[in-house]
Amino acid sequence: MSLKMQTERIEHTLIVRLQGELDHHTAEKVKSHLEEQIAMNTFTHMLINLNELTFMDSSGLGVLIGRYKQIMERGGQMVVSDVHPSIYRIFEMSGLFKIISVHPSESEALASLEVVS
Amino acid sequence: MNNFMKLQFAAVSNNESFARVAVAAFVAQLDPTVEELTDIKTVVSEAVTNAIIHGYEGNPEGVVTVSASIINHTLHLNIEDSGLGIADVEEARQPLYTSKPEMERSGMGFTIMENFMDEITVHSGVGLGTRIQMIKQISNDLTQMN
């Protein structure tokens, strides 16, 4: 039960692909890795692809909201793609959709950011 | 069919996935749907994480107890710690409330537990610990049986 993370930079966007399970234990690793990337200040927007994320609880919400705030502070946008139904319900419950837009695929999410950058 | 299990483990974050997988494996005998199983894994993760972060404030010597009973296709789940306890349970159960915003807690743990389970009761006393009791009926679709 672990979490793997892959990042790719396209234009002004950092794409983060999460694979595995995002809970309190693995959230720490995701937080510190993404904070390092944000501190390097080489991109504006963040796209988080959850296609291979099989589990997420409220600790995962905390990490996403924390990064959302950092990206907003620099005038960027954060979008999410490929959300599994079980994770979608947690997003709905927390009102996350009001602040972070969700797209069915990574390419659509990326296209939505290219329009604003 | 009635059945029972009980687990005790150290209050360390490595055990969050252990606890939810163990409970899911126990519940599997009821042939739950994928959605029911995910709901149960999520609430176990929430309650165990609360015990580790809030009950014991990261002290690995703390012990978390998870017990589960199956009574007539209904799961009764208990998650307990002997940690600090919650001074105001009503406040703690409010959506988005967290006592640890600096740790990026979303404050959604109890809301998720309330939504994913049929019933939840929280017993807590300052200095005594916290016991969360949750109940969920598992669908019993006879057409799924062989």
pTM equals 0.93
Neighbours of B127 (CB within 10 A): 8
* CA gap B126, B84 in Å, rounded: 6
Interface residue A29 vs chain B (CB under 8 A): no
For chain A, residues with pLDDT lower than 70 are 1, 116-117
- Contact across the interface for A85 and B111, Cβ inside 8 Å: no
Length of chain A: 117
Average pLDDT over residues B73-97: 95
* CA gap B125, B129 in Å, rounded: 6
Q: What is the largest CA-CA distance in chain A?
A: 37
pLDDT (tens digit per residue) in B86-109: 999 999 999 989 998 888 888 999
Minimal Cβ distance to B13: which of A21, A25, A65: A25
Minimal Cβ distance to A63: which of B95, B104, B109: B104
- 3-state secondary structure (DSSP) of residue A41: coil
pLDDT above 70 as % of chain B: 96
Phi/psi region, residue B36 (left: phi>0; alpha: psi -120 to 50; beta: rest), is: alpha
Burial class (CB in 10 A: 0-12, 13-18, 19+), B146: exposed
- Which residues of chain B neighbour A24 with C-beta distances below 8 Å? 13, 16, 45, 49, 52-53
Give the pLDDT score at A1: 55
Which two three-digit tokens encode residue B139? 């669908």
